[in-house]
Structure 1
């Protein structure tokens, strides 16, 4: 293989609301922290351990505006993008470094309110889904908002 690959796929929960920054010329970026968890059992103590990893997420322009409008702290989202490291001079003159995920695609999965509703009403299958657009498509009706999730009535061969 002659090429290289820089691709990241994450499913996690927003650690804060999307913070927007606008530039001259109309461009903007949105930033938010994303938490991913790994859960395992400690074999020595038989204790359930959760390890959380935090990721700095960056979305640009229209995608940033969509995220700011529809996402809030605690919402679950799928993001796809690439790792980008950058450096800058801090106010004290020291060089600072950060690693970010530059998002190229995303899909809204569930809101914090929906997850809390599922925990309280596990038997309620007639719950309405919230309209959630994708970065590459305009908003669609709620029943068709995520093409990656199979319809529960679909007869899958596996």
Structure 2
């Protein structure tokens, strides 16, 4: 009897497969995800600059290096059946690079939206998602105008690059 694999079969991960974690792997949630994946029978590979973080200690396979080391990133990606990330701080270019060598279901397009709060707000507006009022601030005059239109309390955040 001949077994035919379908496209859907290629997206299924079975126990024994290797899940890779990239940026965002240095926190408690990454450590919890690793433990759960291992309980389910998966192997976990981590790529990090810090070999002492908890997630790296729990990983089955450890890859050390900066995110600028394309050779190390390629080796890491080729070792993984799938890679995931749990931080919006990863560079979309790295995600695109890794996806050339393995499956990266999260891709990069939503990551780019999440990294710019103005684009993110426009995206949510397009979906009619109710949000707190906001205004774009470029200079000090914009702060005054924003306070006049929004009122207090108000929070001033960068539109990109973290909090």
TM-score w.r.t. the length of structure 1 is: 0.23
TM-score w.r.t. the length of structure 2 is: 0.22
Q: Which has the higher contact order (CA 8 A, sep 6+)?
A: 1
Greater strand content: 1
Structure with max Cα Rg? 2
